[in-house]
Amino acid sequence: MIKQRLLWLIGMLAFTLPVGMVSASPNIVLILTDDHGWSQLSERMDPRIATSRSRYLETPNIARIMEEGRRFTSGYSPAPLCTPTRRSILCGTSAARSGTEFASPSWIPAEHLTIPKALKMANDDFRAAHFGKWGEQMISTPEESGYDASDGMSGNNTGGMPSTLGIESGNHSHGPPHFIDNEDPKRTPSVTGKAIDFMTEHSAAGRPFYVQVSYYAQHLSVVTRDSLLRKYEQKGRPDRGYTQAWAAMMEELDLGVGRILDAIEELGIKEDTYVFFTTDNGGRGTVPGGDEKATPPNHPLSGAKHHLLEGGIRVPFFVMGPGAQPGSVCSEPVVGYDFLPTFYSLAGGDASLLTDEIDGADCVPLLHDRSMANFKRPQKALFFHRPVRRNFSAIRQGDHKLMLYWKDDGTIDRHELYQVYPNPIEEGNEITSDNPELAEELLNRLLAHLYLVGAERRN
């Protein structure tokens, strides 16, 4: 009797509220930073690893997401370069499928399923926006890809590069190591403001929304304001090979994240909103003006942006929102191309309607189920590929990762197996000869995926 009355009350509530005020779909905010390394935070990315944080940087607002939600210690970007990652996130595809370099003329995002299209397929009340860096040579506009509002075909120059900062040659070595902008450094304040305005508009209208906030920081050109620079000059020498100005730019980024989190609370939508945070690739090996003899910026990881070693693709990755237990940690490998099926699932979508092109997995069980018993990754592994301007591919399955190196003629050169959990460092830790059968299994699985998706070849 009590159960029947509860069901009646729920039904009456849904019937009496105005159309658009009741929705099974939550709001979703994706914050995507640029060239932001796994350990470049003031809190540990992995609680077990003391060096997975910086003692010098200050990112308390980003840490709020970690503390109030779930931290994925084995989170990956789909590629070690910005545009392939952005295209991959947009379409839920591995970079092997949708293109490993800036240009991918055979993959036009508007002709495929995208995050905003998928969300509207799940619930046509959804409104979607993209603010900040869209990417280089993306071909399709945000609107053609399903967004209702955007900054257009924005790229690196929009957020500040030498040629747009007064250096005629366009070369960083011909200008200062950093630039001062006391109004809108790296466009972080204005991108944040647009996202907040969009959230405010659609929360007031009672519509679920998706907004991707793609910050230009910490990309190559270092731009900050005087006051923050002076703060870090007073702090002294950085603990790694980045500069005081670079650290100041990071704090500006963190302040933007804080404004978004504060707005969600002020709008009264925190209980209905997920905030995901990640970055487009690992940190750079060097930054303008940085001390190249100091501890590398990506310490303790091997490698950096452009490479498929952990330093190039293992990135900050966490989420807060309904059901994500505060302060929880997950070591299951996840990747940026998981966002599309995950967001679609959160919106109430029917997974059977997704296309066969989707390489990502629905990670909702990882958000809500500490046992992870209900999580299934159809392809069993994560795939990475960059054979054209570099010469490697990689696969992460469970605790292990295999690096595949190609010869210039497109044939296999060698492969190397590593156990990257619990120790994420490849350098000096190859285990191929001790595990030949596992290495062969991962190699075959990687090659099968590359063949299945028609991946680019080096020759």
Residue range 278-307, pLDDT digits in tens: 999 999 999 999 999 999 999 999 999 999
Q: For residue 234, what pLDDT is reported?
A: 98
| Residue-level pLDDT at 457 | 86
Instruction: Record the tokens describing residue 10, joined without a space.
Output: 């729920």
Look up the pTM and report it.
0.94
The Cα–Cα gap between 452 and 33 comes to 31
pLDDT above 70 (res 3): no
Structural contact between residues 262 and 61, judged by C-beta atoms closer than 8 angstroms: no
Mean pLDDT over 376-388 rounds to 95
pLDDT at 172: 85
Strands, E assignment, 19-69: 27-33
Q: What is the mean pLDDT of residues 234-252?
A: 98
3-state secondary structure of 186: helix
* Residue 23 clears pLDDT 60, i.e. is over it: no
Task: Give the length of the chain.
Answer: 459
Looking at residues 244-267, what average pLDDT do you find? 98
- Alpha-carbon gap, residue 406 to 455, rounded angstroms: 13
Range name among 10-24, 289-303, 394-408, 409-423 with the lowest pLDDT average: 10-24
Report the pLDDT value the prediction gives residue 459, as an integer from 0 to 100: 60
> Token pair for residue 171?
């070369």
Please report, to the nearest 10 degrees, the dihedral formed by the alpha carbons of residues 282, 285, 290, 291 taken in order.
Answer: 130
| 281 touches 81 (CB < 8 A) | yes
Which of 1.20.1600.10, 3.40.720.10, 3.90.550.10, 3.40.50.2300 would CATH assign to domain 24-368? 3.40.720.10
Per-residue pLDDT at 302? 97
Position with higher pLDDT, 208 vs 372: 208
- pLDDT greater at residue 44 or residue 9: 44
Sign of CA dihedral 170, 87, 377, 366: positive
Write out pLDDT tens, residues 226-237.
Answer: 999 999 999 999
Domain boundary assignment for the chain? 24-368, 382-452
What is the Cα–Cα distance from 320 to 82, expressed in whole angstroms? Answer: 24
pLDDT of residue 20: 32
Query: What does R_g of the chain's alpha carbons equal in angstroms?
Result: 22
- Rounded to the nearest integer, the mean pLDDT of the chain is 93
Sequence-distant (≥ 6) Cβ neighbours of residue 335 within 8 angstroms: 75, 76, 77, 78, 360, 382
Domain at 382-452, CATH class: alpha beta
SS (H, E, C) 91-112: HCCCHHHHCCCCCCCCCCHHHC
What is the identity of the amino acid at 450?
L
Count of CA atoms in the C-beta half-sphere (13 A) of 68: 18
| Per-residue pLDDT at 332 | 96
Are the C-beta atoms of 54 and 240 separated by less than 8 Å?
yes
Segments of 280-399 assigned E as strands: 318-320, 328-330, 334-335, 382-386, 392-397
- Is 86 in contact with 132 (CB distance < 8 Å)? no
Q: For residue range 88-98, what is the model confidence (pLDDT) as tens digits? A: 999 999 999 99
List of residues 6+ apart from 175 with CB closer than 8 A: 162, 165, 166, 167
| Residue 458 confidence (pLDDT) above 60 | yes
